[in-house]
Structure formats: structure tokens, C-alpha cells
Amino acid sequence: MIQAEGIGSRVPSAFIGGVHSVYRQACNIEADDGMLVTLVSAGLGNLPRGVLCKAAAPMDFRTLWCVSETVERCGTELRAVRTGFAVDLSSAAVWHCELGACAIDPGADRTIDIVSSLCTISSKLGAAGGFAPLVLGNEEPASSFDSAMRRRLERALPVLAGAIGRFDADRAVEGLAPLVGLGPGLTPAGDDFIVGLLAALWSRYDGRAFVAKLHGPLARLAATSHPISRQFLMDALEGEVCEPLSDLAVAVSMHDHERAAAGALRVMRFGHTSGADALTGFLFGLQPALVRDRAIIPSPS
């Protein structure tokens, strides 16, 4: 048995499911209703539907869980039915995403200043690949695939920027549709970008009603993506994102430059390019015009 130090507020108190996929630092359990609960290594941060596990030595979930193995949660234990291996939840602190506590004014000078600083951090320190270098960088695409993604961004982002500025949900969906599922991996760059964008809209004082209008159309688009990415998208629509992104939103709402810079770096450490792509979407959601002006994409005509 291993101990859990944190558990997301959206993890149900009882469920039965099976191991969907397992990696070195994460294990996804699919409940009967299709929801994913993710076990993650300590240090990665909490998830809305995650269990943060601690161990005396670095943990490799691949040595503990097998795909399709039946798992159930009952009370304070999450247990593999066949092997009996279990996660003790009895001392885990319940974690709540804090986007709902933010009320960022995107037009305030202090917000614009901090977003500009974070754009600079992302362009200088972000990983190669994904959306971030194509949106905030100054390098040409490194491959034919990057060139294809850039062309998609050149069409989508100006539409999306204008739609956010006018809170035009129909046009926003037009801009979002080409991005869903765009890119390789279990959480494609386009989906990570959208998660960050939704986090920004949720953290804005004026953005939540707009997200409500996007919910139905974007949920239908998300249904076509990979199950792991789909779960992240659906949670973001409900104002639920990972702890590093939530902490970043809080820091921006407090106009705390030092904490926001540290938060941005922590977000960018998530996955290979996933964190950088989510950060790019977050900055775009707060200040589409500012990000667009820095980007190597055209302004809307």
C-alpha cells in the first residue's frame, strides 16, 4: 500500500473501473461512466480528478498497475481487485481548484504588464515543439508538421481573438474547432491550448458567462479527442484545471509578478510541450490582442 497526500475534489467517493493507461508518473483509471481518475506522482501537482501519491523512492506506476486491471474505491482505499495493491486515501488532503476565486480584469494595466512578462518567459524558456514557439516564438517551423500547424493557427487564432474580444460564442467555436485534437500525443497541443484558454476565461471577472455559451459546442468537439485529453477539456469547461495552472491564475489575479513567473515555469514543466501549450492558451485567453501582436500570425482583417 502507498499513501496519498492529495485528492482532487472531483474524485467520486465510490466507483469501480479499470486501468485505462499507465505511465511512469501517472496511471489513468476509467470508471464505469467513462470518467478518468488519475494517479500521479508527488511533485506533479494535484488534478481535479487526481490522486497525488507519495513514496519513499521515485515511483514507477508501470511496475504497480496493469492495463484493464479492475480497480475500485471504497471509503478510504483505492484497491486493485486482483493484486490487492492499494492506495491509502485516509490522510489525503482534499484539493480544490481556485479559478472560481479569481476575478482578473484583463484590461487593467497591471494585468497587461504581467501577461507581457509571462509571454517573454514563455518565448525564451518554453520547450521546442507544440504551439508555444509558433505563437510566441520568433523561429520558423522546424518541420513540415509544424508548418501545417502554423497554417492552422494562422486561420484560427485571429478568428478566436476577435470572438473573445466581442464574446461571440459562435465565432469562438469556429476558431476552436480547427484546434481540437491538433497535434500528436495523448493531449494534443491544440487541446492543451484550449485548456489554458478556458482557465483564463474562468479566471476573468467577465469570462464565465462566455464559457457557459461555449460549453455545449465545445463538449461535442471534445468528444472526438483522446479520452485523456477529453477529460481535461471537460474539466476545464467546468472551471477545473491542474494545480500549477490554478496557482498561476491566482498569482496573476494578485498581480504577484514573482509568484506568477514561478508558476509559469512550473506549468511549463508539465509534459514535453503540454504545459507550454496550456500557458500559451492561458495568456491568449487573458489578452488575445497582446499575444496576437507578439505572435508570428497575422492580425484579423
Residues 6+ apart with CB under 8 A from 299: 158, 292, 293
Q: pLDDT digit string (tens) for 231-274?
A: 999 999 999 999 999 999 999 999 999 999 999 999 998 888 89
Predicted confidence at residue 31, as pLDDT, reads 94
pLDDT (tens digit per residue) in 18-38: 999 999 989 999 998 999 999
Mean pLDDT confidence for 99-111:
95
Residue 130's pLDDT band (cuts 50, 70, 90): confident
Question: How does pLDDT run across 188-231, given as a tens digit for each residue?
Answer: 999 999 999 999 999 999 999 999 999 999 999 999 888 999 99
CATH 2.40.50 maps onto the chain at 2-95
At residue 300, the pLDDT reads 47
Taking the C-alpha atoms of residue 158 and residue 123, their distance in angstroms, rounded to an integer, is: 19
Q: How confident is the model at residue 292 (pLDDT cuts 50, 70, 90)?
A: low
pLDDT at 186: 77
User: Which pLDDT value is given to residue 138?
Assistant: 58
Residue with cell 495523448: 186
Percent of the chain with pLDDT over 90: 66
Question: CA-to-CA distance for 267 and 270, rounded, in angstroms?
Answer: 6
Residue whose C-alpha is closest to residue 278's, from 149, 118, 114 = 118
CATH class of domain segment(s) 2-95: mainly beta
Residue 108 above 90 pLDDT?
Answer: yes
- For residue range 34-82, list pLDDT tens digits in order: 999 999 998 889 999 999 998 766 778 898 889 999 999 988 999 988 8
**Strands 86-88, 2-8: parallel, antiparallel or unpaired by DSSP?**
parallel
Q: Say what the pLDDT of residue 148 is.
A: 84
